[in-house]
């Protein structure tokens, strides 16, 4: 399991994660990462399904981006999983209305700081 923590800042409203692997489907991988807010931090928890290299990309918007339609790429991580355990299960699927993207909506007083 991977846990990555970021300090939050009051201007961020939404954070979107994307997990990529050369051989695995990005939609499937999106269910192997979970975003949550904990004690003023954004916590990214990942259960990777198999050995290999993964890219974690985080996108965010803030109140300062009021007139921009796209989220900004705020962080990229390369994660190397050395575990051969192939029984890792994804997190339960979370829905965000009609949009299939997995987004974590932060309270009005949260932002990611890199």
Read off the pLDDT of each residue in 87-109 and give the average, rounded to a whole number: 54
Q: Is residue 57 situated within a structural domain? A: yes
Which residues have C-beta within 8 Å of that of residue 69, sequence separation ≥ 6?
A: none
pLDDT of residue 65: 62
Provide the 10 A C-beta neighbour count for residue 27: 11
Q: Is residue 10 situated within a structural domain? A: yes
Number of domains present in the structure of the chain? 1
Read off the pLDDT of each residue in 59-65 and give the average, rounded to a whole number: 74
Higher pLDDT, 61 or 95: 61
- Say yes or no to pLDDT of 19 above 90: yes
- pLDDT-derived band at 64 (thresholds 50, 70, 90) equals low
Higher pLDDT, 28 or 76: 76
pLDDT of residue 1: 86
Measured over the CA atoms of residue 76, residue 82, residue 84 and residue 87, the dihedral's sign is negative
pLDDT of residue 18: 92
Q: Is residue 114 situated within a structural domain? A: no
User: What's the domain range around 13?
Assistant: 2-109
CATH of the domain at 9: 2.60.40
pLDDT of residue 28: 87
Q: Which of 74-83, 87-96, 97-106 has the highest mean pLDDT?
A: 74-83
pLDDT of residue 16: 87
pTM attached to this predicted model: 0.74
């Amino acid at each position: 399991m991977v846990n990555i923590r970021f300090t939050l800042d009051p201007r961020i409203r939404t954070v979107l994660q994307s997990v990529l692997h050369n051989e695995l489907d990005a939609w499937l991988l999106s269910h192997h990462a979970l975003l949550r807010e904990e004690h003023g931090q954004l916590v990214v928890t990942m259960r990777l399904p198999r050995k290999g290299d993964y890219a974690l990309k985080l996108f965010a918007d803030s109140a300062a981006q009021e007139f921009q339609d796209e989220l900004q790429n705020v962080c990229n991580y390369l994660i190397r999983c050395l575990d051969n355990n192939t029984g890792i299960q994804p997190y339960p699927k979370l829905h965000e209305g009609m949009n299939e993207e997995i987004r974590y909506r932060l309270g009005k007083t949260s932002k990611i700081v890199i």
